[in-house]
Chains A and B, each alone.
Chain A
Amino acid sequence: VPLPTDMNDEEFAKNYLRKLYNMQEESKSSFGHKISEMSLKLGEMQEFFGLKVTGTLDAETLEMMKKPRCGVPDVAA
């Protein structure tokens, strides 16, 4: 279940996705709809780690992001 996150968590997650999932912009247009880049990248990260793919910053995803890790991106840029 997506939980409300504070701004620190949101910023932390954005930095994580910029560094490790090549997130470059906040949103992009596709077929006339604005698609959240962050949501796409969250889904990519959740899929990579075998988490439930929600595209939202839920507690499980945030917990995974806070684990110590290698600084190399998980997916090729």
Chain B
Amino acid sequence: YTAGSSSNKWSTNKLTYRIENYTPDMTVAEVDVSIEKALQVWARVTPLRFTRIYSGVADIMISFTVGEHGDGSPFDGPDGLLAHAFGPAPGLGGDTHFDDDETFTFKSSNGYNLFLVAAHEFGHALGLDHSRDPGALMNGIYTYRDVDSFVLPQDDVNHIQALYGSNPEL
């Protein structure tokens, strides 16, 4: 079972997520907003809809963790690997882990912006692989962008819509 790399897709457009714990780098509200905004990046261009749950098992279980954390894909301390996620599947599938040895931020470019990292990881959780396009959100390398003016790059729109179709509400 390897983090990410999947051509699978969820068989439903209605997915649940749960934030299991929080990073000490940000307030609870900042984490909540960052996660919600990151999911909406994908919801805006597809029929996917996300509902938060507070107990039980969600499709996308979100946690902040360090080092070896039981999934065979250990984190490596500060810098290097920032996070990973598993492609659509029951159980570990969809789950998204952030390396809490990083410093995550809400708006600042100092440290790693949680919204940008989360939006990338949720792409994996929805079934996308890494893109070779250096400008794509799904490129594997972290690149800071202005989060207030963030628009999902066309390469990512094309790939996610190939899996799920476009947003019927637009």
Contact = CB atoms under 8 A, between A and B. Distances in A.
Interface of A: 19-20, 48-50, 64, 66-77
A71 B129 CA distance: 12
B93 interface: no
Contact of B5 (A19, A49, A67, A77): A77
B81 A70 contact: yes
B144 to A, nearest CB: 10
Given A48-B132, A50-B132, A74-B130, A68 B79 contact: yes
Nearest to B129: A76
A9 to B, nearest CB: 14
B136 to A, nearest CB: 12
Interface of chain B, main secondary structure:
loop
Contact of B84 (A49, A70, A76): A70
A73 B5 contact: yes
| A-B pairs, 4 with minimum CB distance | A72-B4, A71-B84, A71-B81, A68-B142
B124 to A, nearest CB: 5
A69 B84 contact: no
Contacts, number: 70
Contact of A70 (B2, B7, B120, B132): B120
B5 A70 contact: no
A67 B141 CA distance: 7
A68 B141 contact: yes
A16 B16 CA distance: 33
A5 B3 CA distance: 30
B75 interface: yes
A17 to B, nearest CB: 14
A2 B126 CA distance: 39
B140 interface: yes
A72 B130 contact: yes
Nearest to B124: A72
A28 to B, nearest CB: 21
A69 B132 contact: no
Contacts of B4: 70-73
A60 to B, nearest CB: 13
A68 B112 contact: yes
A26 B84 CA distance: 26
B114 interface: no
